[in-house]
Structure 1
Amino acid sequence: MVRLVFVVIRFRVGETEQGEFAERLRAAVEVLGRQKGFLSARTGRNVDDPELLALTLEFENVGSYRRALSPYDVKLTAVPLLSQAIDEPTAYEDLPG
């Protein structure tokens, strides 16, 4: 059974750096959004810790997510940003029910 995959990527970014970071984040989402199997993206800031930012992505399945990271334009635009993420597991399968 193939399940929807959602990805939660968290970043710690100083408040003074968030403007520039937001531009890079938008570019990363734009390039990831062109990949086969991409469904949606959302970004946000933690309400209790304004230096904690999150990017959530949804893909049709885990294979789509992993393949989405391979194209050259993704490696050039998104991967450098994603390498700044907090080191933790990011991909989750949607649970039934």
Structure 2
Amino acid sequence: MRLVLVVNRFRAGEDPASLRADLERVHGLLADSPGYAGGSIGRNLDDPDLWVLTTRWDNVGAYRRALSSYELKLHGVPVLSRAIDEPGAYEVVEPGGVLNVAGARVT
């Protein structure tokens, strides 16, 4: 099993309470998805305008299938599309483990 860590960072802007509520809803939808292994919402200690949604998945396919669900498309994608534009999916590196090789993916 190759665990996947997904990190989405957000700027709260003028309405941090609204962003927090949106992230809590999206996190709940993701948590109900098969292959979800855990996650949390956080706020940066040095820059309180910076928020993060982290999730862990059994594999990349589980994460991608979660994103394709109707509820996530309807309620999650509008929130996730506001994330800072940067790569966000990471493989979990285990001591001595073999790392992923870049290449085409089929899930």
TM-score, normalised relative to structure 1: 0.93
What per-residue deviation string (whole Å, max 9, x for no partner) do you get for residues 27-65 of structure 1?
111111111100111111111111110110000011111
Name the counterpart of 2:4. 5
Structure 1 residue 79, shift from structure 2 partner? 0.8
For the pair shown, the structure with the greater C-alpha radius of gyration is 2
Name the counterpart of 2:63. 65
SS in 2 for 1:50: coil
Counterparts in 2 of 1:1-97, with a 5 A limit?
Answer: 2-14=1-13, 16-97=14-95
State the structure with bigger RCO (CA 8 A, min sep 6), 1 or 2: 1
Q: One-letter code of the match for 1:50?
A: P
Structure 1 residue 23, shift from structure 2 partner? 1.0
- Identity rate, percent: 47
SS in 2 for 1:84: coil
Which runs of 5 or more structure 1 residues have no equivalent in the other structure? none
TM-score, normalised relative to structure 2: 0.85
Q: One-letter code of the match for 1:4?
A: L
